[in-house]
Structure 1
Amino acid sequence: MQPLHGIRISAVLVLLATAAAAMAGALDSRPNDGSGYWPDFSNTGYANTPANAGGLDLGPYPGRLKDYAANMSATRPITARYPDNSVISYTRFLASKVIIYGDNLTFVGCLFEGKSPNDNLVQIYAPNSITFRYSTFKPNAYARPPGNDGTVSSAHVKPGTPFKKSWQLMTTMKEAVALMDHNDVWGNAGLLMVTGFPGRPSVWTNNYIHDAADTSHDVYHHDGIGPQSEGNGGPMVIDHNTIASLGNTNALALQGSGVYDHIAFTNNYISGYGYALSFGVKNNATNLAVTGNVFSAELHQLWGPLYGNLWGGTPRGSLWRNNFYQVRQGDDNKSYSPADHGRFWWPTDNKSHAQDFSG
């Protein structure tokens, strides 16, 4: 075969076939259905840490965690100070708040649990970077989210974790850019972390973000990744995550009026919330890549898939391709029916389409 722009047509066909097969798997699967395709209880969190996670030459989860300190309590804070560049593995932190100091720290296979209503469970003071891999962030009162029996992405009924037993946020207090990979996060209201800086993107891969707290009330804004309320954020890489919950705001909560730039939101499973995605409150986002995502009707949703249909658009360097609706009989989002299953999700309206978006 003749080359096409330096690539053999046969190679292009293989890539297209691989992408089509992956998309079929994405549409046929849901978190906690036994397939392991999406991030869920089977492949995220401390108990699922494999050997050599992050290339750090650590062993797999040893079957138990060591306590950070004796006599820890969900009613008292912990201040954890580490030398720069430390790797902290298989450690349990129980506190009203875990305050972390140290730069370029990496946490692997750790458990952060406690109760911090209207406050941070994890508060990070680092100037450059922080990494969490295969770690779990949860309320201490529950082993599993209320209403989630392990067969659904997130509980289908309110209220989730009651407010007084919940935690609100995980927050970076300085300019540390986070790498979040294979973490299990629930019982909270959001993840308020630096979006990134030119040349230093925040990276979110293979995380299971689900079962927001206190969904019967409006004490919390329920966000998955976010909120970021100022704008002028990015770059971000958000790839192959499950972000699913009942709630009142956004799975991706970029909610400011400033420009969001170089945001890659790819290959994710999204369901529930108020709007699934928000890329700002003005149509000024630039260089977005929104590709390969599944918007699932599994969970009830308040309004629609994309806040204000705002994404900057192709004139601002953005790309919207291969985003699909997933709908099954009996799903809780009644705006869609099984006739919409496998059809394309466009950013310009809340309807499914037979052809991909090309604007």
Structure 2
Amino acid sequence: MATNWPQRLTERAEARRAEGLWRSRPTVDPKDPRQDFAGNDYLGLARDPRLAEAQAEAARRRGAGGRASHLVCGHQTIHETLERRLAELTGRPRALLFSTGYMANLGVLQALCDRHTPVFQDRLNHASLIDGARLAGAPSRRFHHRDLADLERLLARAQEGAPALVVSDGVFSMDGDVADVAGLAATARRHDAWLMIDDAHGLGVLGGVGDGCAGRAHGVDEVPVLVGTLGKALGSAGAFVAGDAALIEHLIQFARPYIYTTAQPPGVAAATLAALDILDTEPERRARLHQRIQRFRREAATLGLELDASTTPIQPLRLGDNQRTLRWAARLGEANLRVGAIRAPTVPQGEARLRITLSATHDDDALDALLEGLADCQRQEAA
């Protein structure tokens, strides 16, 4: 007799627990005393009262929900305004809103690719990019992480005449390093391929005006498809795709996650517009964030902590072993410090790590507490 469903679920749960890979959702309360070194609120905007007030006011005036999909009657003037602002920020002719970053990546890849479209992805790309190519049924090849020579080799072997797409994270979410956007663009051009960059963790943080690692410095000719999210450095929710008019119109017609989803609530769009205003008028937030990054890396080195080579807010500390990673995260939690314990399948097997993330709102006391907590973990491990 075949295994029944309850037995199947129990067996899979037991196996995951035994491997040290079981995940639990931390329930966070606004009064939680712990310092957050796990989230993606890089500029400290998620709790900025100006965003909350903009969201509340828009909800009062326009309603709490989007009411319908963009193509029915959900596309409001506030969405149109936000799309224009995002296009301006990234130096693109047009932008298109999506409800989440995952949906944006699924939508783009499903709309652009099919079984005749080879897709070349960095080995450490986000799961949504991998899943998007699978959804499209596109033949997908993975090149070694940030290895342009390997990408060149794979592109040279591709079938001639097929429209190829090269896809990469901008800032890699678990490693914190940055794609060589110029190198990827040059390599793609040599093989008549398009380049798609998901700059979820670079937008708001990198670039001269917070336009990310693939914004105005790399225009639409170099990076025809640019994806950004609004729920990280910008502190709200949702995502967008920026590019030329032909790309955006194509996505409106063919991107199923866009066509068949209720529009973003107008209050969320208003909060994002408020965040963009702050991004424009308070560049000191970005400067303060990068000062925090430099100080943390400098003092972590004096403790002998071997951080990955990252100049972004994502500062991974590889511990290798799942149980060791969980122990360190638990000890830090006891010291009122929340840090992400990242294990497979999010990262490769044997590369478990603490994913430490920094924010412009972390003051010197918070960094001191984090460094002391990490030093204490070292001491307990050595005892």
Bigger proportion of residues as strand = 1
Greater RCO (Cα-Cα under 8 Å, separation 6 or more):
2
TM-score (norm 2): 0.25
TM-score (norm 1): 0.26
Bigger proportion of residues as helix = 2
Choose 1 or 2 for highest CA Rg.
2
